[in-house]
Chain A
């Protein structure tokens, strides 16, 4: 199902089957060049498959933006151990709701992407780790896996090629931290989702201590088109070093919130103004979190920029997971910062002290501000606490909590100062 109207400005590669009758079925998939990329890959050497993915400039859609082909090439193919491919479908970054749509409307593209990755690295099995709340998605994926197996696209000797590969879904049970790759692997193995120390990276020591390719759902879903039409064609859709399209999830104060597929490098102001219908009620834009709540906030006058990994990094933020959270002039930035920090305090797994204690104390301090009980030295204290979290944890959750709060207090200092003297009009409960 689609939950918002598409935009005429979209460039549909990953979403091109959305809206077709019964688009999740294998028949609809096969009728629209489904598994054509995999058939092509079957005739290629692993190195050529990986080269094609490298050529596409496909970068990890989970948030880090690491080149997918390069990640795949780190798997030691000569290793005698079994190898795995794992799709991260633990979509939990606030502001992000795209992987759900991909799996719901086109589950076979994820299966095909995993098959191609499995072929490229010599894996015999794969897992789709799906957050526990997405129960209906697990059912959709299980049906699609059964269909693919019945038609000979999964199992032993696939399409007579001699390639054996099977695929399973695996449910989470409520944990943002399990979206972090090493915590996800711990959870997959039946443990608490605490991060692993790296190196070694999952490509070398991953699921069940075996070499593992682990990518986001959207990353895998881009792979069939890359093999089918060539890496260069995909790369050309985007900007240099940022191949293809990506699904932007626009939320917050816009007239037409929704998930839209656009070329990498699409201008952020156009995304808000033209694709998403502009800021609601004719109000003025105040700020945008461009890639999920872990990304530093941009002020309205910083938003005239191309949405790709490198441009956002130059602007001091991140493209992240594609969750574009739009805030209009009525938004209280102290309240927004507090809500985000409460989230990280709730989700910190507690493994690393700077993150466990930092998120808790930051959330206490921000509560104080929000209630008008902030003290003059508190802004500096927030910065100091956040800076002492940066780079001092096993996984990026500590940074993910510290970076946005630093951007909020630095860019909206006046609002925080105003809260020192008195509770603002918005000083009501923040969940």
Chain B
């Protein structure tokens, strides 16, 4: 499988950071960066990473299974991750999460039929003082409310 030039540049930087003989160190970044481009850690991605790092696919599978951000199936184009941990819970995060589920008609780790939106209930994302917080793909949205979330979803719908 081939990756884009941009991803290859990123992976080259990762490989450079590994001490000699310690190429396995690149595994987690390589999987996440490949997922960003491909959409998921597919069997093809596992094969490719296995070839590049000289690891068995089993070695890779056991690592994929550990990390919560690594997924086997693609998320929606707009992946909304809503924190409901303690600081967000105290400031309306649970209600925000329930609102998002109702609004999009999907549950945790599901995507809408058109593949545009997906939802994930996440643990603390490090935005506690500006809670409740949402991650839209890798972008932070602070001090969210159901109304702000509705507007965000509308804006994203218009973007396509």
A69-84: contact bitstring with B at CB < 8 Å (1 yes, 0 no)? 0000000000000100
Complexed CA–CA distance, A121 and B125 (Å): 33
CB neighbours of B84 from chain A (8 A) = 339, 431
Q: Is the beta-carbon distance between A132 and B25 smaller than 8 angstroms?
A: no
Q: Is A412 an interface residue (CB 8 A)?
A: no
Partner of A430 from the list B67, B94, B123 (CB cut-off 8 Å) is B94
Known: A3-B142, A347-B123, A429-B98. A173 touches B28 (CB 8 A): yes
Q: In this assembly, does A109 line the interface, its C-beta being within 8 Å of a C-beta of chain B?
A: no
A363 within 8 A of B: no
Q: Complex formed: what's the CA distance from A406 to B126 in Å?
A: 25
Kindly identify, within residues 100 to 137 of chain B, every residue whose CB is under 8 Å from any CB belonging to chain A: 121-131, 135
Query: Of B26, B69, B98, B128, which is within 8 A of A133 by CB?
Result: B69
A82-B19, A193-B66 known; A253+B90 contact, CB < 8 A: yes
Neighbouring B residues of A171 by C-beta, 8 Å: 28-29, 32-33
Does chain A have a CB within 8 A of B68? yes
Taking CB atoms, residues of chain B closer than 8 Å to A176 are 123-124
When chains A and B are docked, how far (Å) is the Cα of A430 from the Cα of B86? 10
**Cα distance A320–B44 when bound, in Å?**
43
Q: Quick check: B68 and A336 within 8 Å, CB to CB?
A: no
Report whether A174 and B129 are in contact in the complex, using a CB–CB cutoff of 8 Å.
Answer: no
Contact indicator A257/B131 (Cβ below 8 Å)? yes
Take A95-B124, A168-B17, A170-B17 as given contacts and tell me if A135 and B94 are in contact as well, using a CB distance cutoff of 8 Å. Answer: no
What number of A residues sit within 8 Å (CB to CB) of B? 63
B67 touches A172 (CB 8 A): yes
Kindly list chain A residues whose C-beta atoms are within 8 Å of the C-beta of B127. 97, 100
Stretch among A15-23, A35-43, A47-55, A182-190 lining the B interface: A182-190
**Chain B 52-102 residues near chain A, CB threshold 8 A:** 53, 62-63, 66-70, 81, 84-87, 89-91, 93-94, 97-98
User: Judging by beta carbons under 8 Å apart, are A190 and B25 in contact?
Assistant: yes
| Number of A-B residue pairs with CB-CB distance less than 8 Å in the complex they form | 164
Q: A134 near B22 (CB under 8 angstroms)?
A: no
A194 to B: closest C-beta gap in Å = 8
Kindly provide the distance from the CB of A196 to the nearest chain B CB, expressed in whole angstroms.
15
Residues in A with CB closer than 8 Å to B124 are 92-96, 176, 293, 343
Contacts of A335 in B (CB 8 A): 89
Residues from chain A with a CB closer than 8 A to the CB of B121 are 431
Task: Judge if B46 is at the interface, Cβ distance under 8 Å.
Answer: no
Query: Would you call B126 and A97 a contact (CB within 8 A)?
Result: yes
By beta carbon, the residue of chain B nearest A256 is B129
Roughly how many angstroms separate A339 CA and B97 CA in the complex, as a whole number? 14
Complex interface bits, A114-155 against B, C-beta within 8 A gives 1, otherwise 0: 000000000001010001111110000010000000000000
Whether A283 is near chain B, meaning CB under 8 Å from some CB there, is: no
CB-nearest residue of chain A relative to B65?
A192
Q: Which residue of A lies closest to B133 (CB)?
A: A97
Interchain CA distance A208-B24 in the complex, whole Å:
11
Q: CB < 8 Å: which of A3, A127, A170, A430 contacts B130?
A: A3
Residues of A within 8 A of B (CB): 3-4, 82, 91-97, 99-100, 125, 127, 131-136, 142, 168-176, 187-193, 208, 249-253, 257-259, 289, 293, 323, 325, 327, 331, 335-336, 339-340, 343, 346-347, 349, 429-431
Return the 7 tightest CB-CB contacts between A and B, nearest first. A431-B84, A174-B69, A190-B27, A174-B68, A168-B17, A251-B87, A173-B67
